[in-house]
Amino acid sequence: MEVFVAKSSAIAEGQRVLIDHKGQKIGVLRVNGALHAFLNLCPHQGGPACEGMLIHKIEEVIDEDKRYLGMRFHDRDVHMVCPWHGWEFNVETGASAADGKHKLKRYKTIEKEGDVYVVV
Ligand code: FES
């Protein structure tokens, strides 16, 4: 079943929309040009994960001689940070950055004729 979310123009790069579908909140966001949709329910303790800030993944930099050179933001990977306790989730997979077995429930998105839908 396709559920209308918003006009495509309402979800620009880095933006998100929350909808209420039968009592469940679903967050829909656009990152790196692609749409992603998740149930707004953190697998840790039920926080509103889809309402957290977006931040590029932080990675450690190691050179060819195995020397640690510090940290940097990843060019592409973006994480959504649950506002309750800071668990981070990859916005492309919904998987927890700390332990991939914990995932946000993901929904398929459809963009057609200038509108965005989620499949529930
Ligand atoms: S409820 Fe999301 S990090 Fe705890």
pLDDT-derived band at 5, boundaries 50, 70, 90: very high
C-alpha closest to that of 117 among 28, 24, 14: 28
Q: Mean of the pLDDT values across residues 101-118?
A: 98
> 10 is written with which tokens?
């309402």
C-alpha of residue 96 to centroid of ligand 1, in Å: 11
**114 CB-side CA count, 13 A:** 1
Mean pLDDT computed over 17-30: 98
Residue 20, pLDDT score: 98
For residue 76, what pLDDT is reported? 94
* List of domains in the chain: 2-119 (2.102.10.10)
Beta bridge mates, 71? 60
Closest residue (by CA) to atom 3 of ligand 1? 85
Rounded to the nearest whole angstrom, what is the distance from the C-alpha of residue 20 to the centroid of ligand 1?
20
Q: Can you give the pTM of this predicted structure?
A: 0.92
Are 26 and 119 in contact by the 8 Å Cβ rule? The answer is no
49 close to ligand 1 (CB < 6 Angstrom): yes
The candidate with the shortest Cα–Cα distance to 106, out of 47, 58, 35, 52, is 35
Evaluate: CB of 50 within 6 angstroms of ligand 1. no
Cα(56) to centroid(ligand 1), Å? 19
Q: Which residue has the higher pLDDT, 46 or 100?
A: 46
Element (H, E) at 25: strand 24-31
Q: What is the pLDDT of residues 53-98, one digit of tens each?
A: 999 999 999 999 999 999 999 999 999 999 999 999 999 999 999 9
